[in-house]
Amino acid sequence: MTRKTRAEAVALTRPREDGWARWLGAGIVVLGLGLVAAQARAQENVIVAHGISTFGDLKYPADFPHLDYVNPDAPKGGEISEWAPGGFDSMNPFSVKGRGGALSTIMLESLLTGTADEIGSAYCLLCETLEYPEDRSWVIFNLRPEARFSDGTALTAEDVVFSYQTLLEKGLTDFRTVFAQQVEGAEILGPHKVKFTFKPGIPTRDLPADVGGLPVFSKAQYERDGLDLEESTLKPYIGSGPYMFDRMETGRTLVYRRNHDYWGRDLPIMKGTSNFDTIRIEYFADGSAAFEAFKAGTYTFRNENSARQWATGYDFPALKAGHVVQAELPNGNKASGQAFLFNLRRPVWQDARVREAVGMMFNFEWSNQTLFYGQYARINSVWENSWLAAEGVASAEEQAILKPLVDEGLLPEAILTEPAVMAPTSGERQLDRGNLRKASALLDQAGWAVGSDGMRRNAAGEVLRLQILNDDPAFDRVINPFVENLRALGVDAVNTKVDQAQMESRTRPPSYDFDMITGNARSGYISGAELKQYYGADTADVSAFNLMGLKSPAVDRLIDVLLATKTRDEMTIATKALDRVLRAERFWVPQWFKNTHTVAYFDMFDHPENLPPYALGEMSFWWYNAEKAAALKAAGALK
């Protein structure tokens, strides 16, 4: 059972594994084309390339014909349809106002885009080439003159700069806070030439790819339609991508159609992708209703997130008749960091002993066997299922990073000598008596004594209460046993059920009105400035991602160390050190993950034999088999 966050529900599965998971902004200085660029080239060793890699070389050369994992001859046509939870009331995913529709950014492209078989590489999409010096203190993007928005208008440097400025002024607060510290400005050097300059004295390793990953809006449409990045709206954005908005039934259905005049259809980076004529998203109030609709053929592709459903629910007539495929496909991604997250802004959760005690009451082993049919593994690390997870006692290289923070009193000495924090192990019974005793001792030490009614109180007589906010009825069977175990510990715990609108309202800045929620401890393979949104103190009270409100001087310092690394080995060591410290903060009760995609779909889709490690890609490089679809319709398997 995995959970979709709000951002994931908005994005769902992007048709391209784009690099703009960071919507950022910075300042702008508009200059004419002059001698500046020529002087820079004369003074610096300027690299001109078709892409950029954080460390090492790009996998694909400038003349590559297509991505290795696609079928370049995949037919175009047909429809793929999936489901999304709850509903939507906006087509603007960049605002905290309203609930953004799934795939509402599908129309937008960026200067650079990533691939699903590489880590840390980005290739030109809207640009033909990029130019940058060895120190990456600035970057120039040479745009493709043929790039067009779906309304036929040209995409120019003015649109790039406008998008950048709009994100700076009206983007999410945490993004603006961080990127404004890094980017000096942007310059229009010509109709199809843009330069970004970065501030001196900061790590620039990731910044060319970061600015290259920003979404590009149509300035003309934004102004003509009176759009406002901060406001909820049902007016979709016009973009330059292979898909356009088609139609909606507000809160229930969204349909996007392929742009047959898409300007970039013959680019090597796009060959074999964007194969479906239409992509349809159907919304359902809960997972049970969604599953019944799938069995009836209301939508055609399902990425199953319920272990119980996967183990017991796939025995319906369409599957038995061979009309539906049930498959487990490899998933090489690191774990999502799914966890119960504490709200550290509340005084009661600022004591790490209290948080540790609460965490001991979640019995993963019992849950996995009883509720999940043994399908999951436990998350221990923010970088679980990757080479970046801290293991055992800190290595000499990690200690060299951590010791100065210990000497300054920002970290305890134990961080150097004790193994990395692991999630507690429980027995086969729901309530593990050994963990109950350990948790009781921790709460006693923290000053929460058991009263005559069995509830724990502090010296002021306040009861230790924990409200777990929950907007998913399917999660009741996970949360309720956790609550029972906590009450046995003397914690007045409760599973508080809310709808999606309430959940969003109570978890968004500035309210943060919760004790604990299910969320994600986020991370990337090659982490950059986004870590300051995820874990930085500067954005903790405005961030849509640092939901726990973590404010740790040691974490802030380690993020800076990580951003300054120059080699993959240095980055790996710094990431492990950061992971070690994040885990020691105990801001979470980690949940679970699996290393396969459990999918079911009506047998009218095909995919490449060898899927890439970092994307399932069903909306991107899978395709529609017209003959199979005709057979299903003839058999009455589809509506």
Q: d(Cα 228, Cα 22) in Å, to the nearest integer? A: 19
Q: Where in the chain is the domain with CATH 3.10.105.10?
A: 343-593
Q: d(Cα 552, Cα 510) in Å, to the nearest integer? A: 19
Checking if the pLDDT of 37 tops 90, the result is no
Which class would CATH give 7-66+103-218?
A: alpha beta
- Which helix (H) or strand (E) segment is 635 a member of? none
Confidence at residue 12, expressed as pLDDT on a 0 to 100 scale: 37
CB count in 10 Å sphere of residue 242 = 25
Q: d(Cα 530, Cα 23) in Å, to the nearest integer? A: 10
Mean pLDDT across 31-47? 49
Q: Give Cβ neighbours of residue 552 (< 8 Å, ≥ 6 apart).
A: 535, 537, 581, 585
Alpha helices in 427-526 (DSSP H): 433-445, 476-489, 500-507
Within 13 Å, how many C-alpha atoms sit on residue 520's CB side? 21
Confidence at residue 40, expressed as pLDDT on a 0 to 100 scale: 42
The residue length of the chain stands at 639
- Of all residues in the chain, the percent with pLDDT exceeding 70 is 93
Give this prediction's pTM: 0.84
Place of tokens 């974490």: 555
Mean pLDDT across 296-323? 95
Is the four-CA dihedral 66, 67, 68, 72 of positive or negative sign? negative
What is the average pLDDT value for the chain, to the nearest integer?
91
Fold of 343-593: Dipeptide-binding Protein; domain 3 (3.10.105)
According to DSSP, residue 323 is labeled: S
**Can you spell out the DSSP letters for 429-446?**
SSS-HHHHHHHHHHHHHT
- Of all residues in the chain, the percent with pLDDT exceeding 90 is 83
CA nearest to 165, candidates 137, 140, 186, 194: 186
CA nearest to 401, candidates 422, 386, 382, 416: 416
Tokens of residue 407, six digits = 């000497």
Q: d(Cα 439, Cα 546) in Å, to the nearest integer? A: 26
318 touches 312 (CB < 8 A): no
Q: d(Cα 330, Cα 181) in Å, to the nearest integer? A: 39
273 touches 621 (CB < 8 A): yes
Confidence at residue 3, expressed as pLDDT on a 0 to 100 scale: 57
Lowest mean pLDDT segment, chosen from 34-48, 321-335, 431-445: 34-48
Tokens of residue 312, six digits = 């017991």
CB count in 10 Å sphere of residue 222 = 18
Amino acid type, 264: G
pLDDT tens sequence across 364-392: 999 999 999 999 999 999 999 999 999 99
pLDDT tier at 5, thresholds 50, 70, 90 = very low
